Structure 1
Amino acid sequence: MTSEHPGSADLADRIHGGWLGRIAGNMLGKPVEQGEVWTRERIDRYLRRAAALPLTDYLPEPADPADGAVLRPEWRRCVRGRIHGSCRDDDVDYAILGLHLLETHGFGFSTEQVGELWLLRLPYLQTFTAERAAYRNLANGLKPPLTATYDNPYQEWIGALIRADVHGWTRPGDPARAAGLARRDAVLSHTGNGVYGAMWAAALISAAFTAPTVREALESALGVIPASSRLARTVRRVIALHETRLAWEENVATLTAETAGLGWIHTVPNAAVLTAGLLYGEGDFTRTIALTVRGGLDTDSNGATAGSVAGVRTGAAAIPDRWKDPLEDTVRSAVFGFDGVRISALAERTLRLATAAA
């Protein structure tokens, strides 16, 4: 269910909020991005030791040296008091690459053109799992959809989902179209729930512009993927448990048990953590990204998507300064030609595409 399309000034603020939210959420989750080490319980222990619960800002420095030893190597540039612009990360690189794709080829882009842009603009060693398998297949002369299926055990992992934001930002209030664009991108490297994850995320972000509530945005997003898919069933399960007023911790623990065995980078358990963060965040930007990252698994990817949804809903102006100011309106990126670009400039370019598509 959607309401009226946002006006131009409002749309500019909401798209800017999506970019800021994605980057801030990514930075929040980055130090603890290793799901088999940083479980939900361990993340909360870390925060308790540093007197940082409830979490209302970027992660604090580790109070215990043993924790510091297992944080991501980039943690010193991602913790409160040490952030000067965003760290480079694939969760942001793909949003930039998606923007460049639409600027270069328009909304009629082909999956083959997505692959060509990767080869031209993205360093091979900055790709991972399914994207690296697809990149290797492209370099060896394979064409989609073989690029997704040949020697690629990661076809349902989260990589395609993290590439979907720009398709939601540029199709505000049009979740079906956003999902169609995301699907065309996703099939380069993914199949099944991996593709559905991208479609769902793009539709969710698109619906976030106009849906009265996050719950209604989630319902719109479910409408673009097969109801019988494991992804749709898992998202509906989180929503149903939330409706029973089950505590956030118990909801996440239940879904962790029910999706055990899929691994911490698979689309389905991460969509559960993300859905719980959005629902229990209750429309508050800080609470949404904090709960999502505290849920564990692929923390920086989930934090980024939660931040994108929450940022679209609140708009850039309403995101607390403690999340925005350390970013210094600057993005580090491995995408050739984009390192050091301004976040505000990316938002303006995205707005032009969204306005042209309207």
Structure 2
Amino acid sequence: MTSVGNAPRLADRVLGGWLGRIAGNMLGKPVEQGDQWTRDRIDGYLRRADALPLTDYLPEPASEDDAARLRPEWRSCVRGRIDGSCRDDDVDYAILGLDLLETHGFGFSTEQVGDLWLLRLPYHQTFTAERAAYRNLANGLRPPVTATYDNPYQEWIGALIRADIYGWTCPGAPQRAAALARRDAVLSHTGNGVYGAMWAAALIAAAFTAPTVRHAVDTALTVIPASSRLARTVRRATSLHEARLGWEDTLATLSEETAGLGWIHTVPNAAVLTAGLLYGEGDFTRTVALTVRGGLDTDSNGATAGSVAGVLTGADSIPARWKDPLRDTVRSAVFGFDGVRITDLADRTVRLAEVSP
């Protein structure tokens, strides 16, 4: 493990990653329908609720029409109504990854990832590529066929949202984090779907030691093929930011260049996430707000942005308005983990990070 300072500082930053992931996920959850909740519609919602600039969880809808468009879970995710975290796969997979490392160690196999899914994760709480892989596992197929048979979602965002735990447990070691994420990702994904997981894990690992978020983004690019569409899109986002194009114009350009891939594909979501990180400039609130306002898979992007920003700042520096409503409690579909304390998850993660090779 690469040194990231003293143990208390490591613990604060790991806790920041967990809190950031959960808060960012809940911020984006009510508008998680990228083909309906475009950037313009999200900002229109915020204007009608007098909530721009966005500095807190989403406000309650200002009209019945707005309420009807939100996901049904919105009543548990908007400001003033939150009482602990909502259940969501973006958090379930971080918990499942923690259980994987505690059970099998850092030498786990892809087959063991699949076995743990069957043991701990309800089938109906899986979606897209994960559901296809789960079904293939239940039908007796083994990796890597589980990722390719009857699975049209191989490059979607599912593997990326499973990657945080590998970054948190490999602080300052992005190459190692990416290798672990790849071993997990190939159960259900191929191509840019796998690269997205590797990139996200490396991004989070790099955030422990990077002097700026841009350094973390640049470091994460080194773990995936430079010619991949994911790498080219992330580099494009960094170049537009470097050219001082505004956030809105950057997203409009990236949206045009990734058109046709769909709102759950890894590549356009990585573009939104990269823009949110760069224009957020390391500030937790600004990072998660811009990322969610960017649209597409808002809860997944908000979760990853919150994880990176939380590691960069540490838990102590995340404003209380994001942390306090969570009540240090996680709702989870992972068997044996519903109601677990966020601080307990973070403590267990730190113990793994301290023994990481």
Structure 1 CA distance for aligned equivalents of residues 98 and 193 of structure 2? 21
| Corresponding residue number in structure 2 for 1:156 | 155
| Amino acid in the other structure paired with 2:16 | G
| Corresponding residue number in structure 2 for 1:107 | 106
Structure 2 CA distance for aligned equivalents of residues 16 and 294 of structure 1? 25
| Corresponding residue number in structure 1 for 2:313 | 314
| Corresponding residue number in structure 1 for 2:255 | 256
Determine helix, strand or coil for the equivalent of 2:276.
Answer: helix
| Corresponding residue number in structure 2 for 1:330 | 329
Judge conservation of contact 1:170–1:357 (CA < 8 Å) in 2: yes
| Corresponding residue number in structure 1 for 2:276 | 277
| Amino acid in the other structure paired with 2:343 | S
Structure 1 CA distance for aligned equivalents of residues 355 and 39 of structure 2? 42
Judge conservation of contact 1:6–1:210 (CA < 8 Å) in 2: no
Structure 2 CA distance for aligned equivalents of residues 22 and 217 of structure 1? 17
Judge conservation of contact 1:110–1:184 (CA < 8 Å) in 2: yes
Judge conservation of contact 1:122–1:335 (CA < 8 Å) in 2: yes
* 1:140 pairs with 2:150: no
When normalised by structure 2's length, the TM-score is 0.99
Shift of 1:315: 0.3
Shift of 1:4: 5.3
| Corresponding residue number in structure 1 for 2:348 | 349
String of CA shifts for 1:157-203, please: whole Å, max 9, x gaps: 00000000000000000000000000000000000000000000000
Judge conservation of contact 1:101–1:114 (CA < 8 Å) in 2: yes
Identity score, percent = 82
| Corresponding residue number in structure 1 for 2:50 | 51
| Amino acid in the other structure paired with 1:278 | L
Aligned ranges for residues 86-101 of structure 1 at < 5 Å? 86-101=85-100
String of CA shifts for 1:97-126, please: whole Å, max 9, x gaps: 000000000000000000000000000000
Structure 2 CA distance for aligned equivalents of residues 156 and 73 of structure 1? 27
Structure 2 CA distance for aligned equivalents of residues 4 and 251 of structure 1? 35
Judge conservation of contact 1:123–1:335 (CA < 8 Å) in 2: yes
Shift of 1:64: 1.6
The count of corresponding residues between Structure 1 and Structure 2 is 356
Shift of 1:6: 2.6
| Corresponding residue number in structure 2 for 1:60 | 59
Structure 2 CA distance for aligned equivalents of residues 94 and 111 of structure 1? 15
Shift of 1:133: 0.1
Determine helix, strand or coil for the equivalent of 2:75.
Answer: helix
| Amino acid in the other structure paired with 1:159 | G
| Corresponding residue number in structure 1 for 2:226 | 227
Shift of 1:299: 0.1
Judge conservation of contact 1:112–1:143 (CA < 8 Å) in 2: yes
* 1:79 pairs with 2:84: no
Structure 2 CA distance for aligned equivalents of residues 201 and 64 of structure 1? 37
Gaps of 5+ in 1: none
Structure 2 CA distance for aligned equivalents of residues 191 and 4 of structure 1? 32
Structure 1 CA distance for aligned equivalents of residues 265 and 23 of structure 2? 22
Determine helix, strand or coil for the equivalent of 2:226.
Answer: coil
| Corresponding residue number in structure 2 for 1:192 | 191
| Corresponding residue number in structure 1 for 2:173 | 174
| Amino acid in the other structure paired with 1:235 | V
* 1:116 pairs with 2:154: no
| Amino acid in the other structure paired with 1:137 | N
Structure 2 CA distance for aligned equivalents of residues 170 and 95 of structure 1? 11
Structure 1 CA distance for aligned equivalents of residues 259 and 214 of structure 2? 25
Shift of 1:68: 0.6
Structure 1 CA distance for aligned equivalents of residues 102 and 214 of structure 2? 32
Shift of 1:5: 2.4
When normalised by structure 1's length, the TM-score is 0.99
Structure 2 CA distance for aligned equivalents of residues 193 and 83 of structure 1? 35
Kindly report structure 1 stretches of 4+ aligned residues shifted beyond 3 Å.
none
Structure 2 CA distance for aligned equivalents of residues 37 and 67 of structure 1? 12
Structure 2 CA distance for aligned equivalents of residues 241 and 287 of structure 1? 19
Structure 2 CA distance for aligned equivalents of residues 211 and 225 of structure 1? 18
Judge conservation of contact 1:6–1:209 (CA < 8 Å) in 2: no
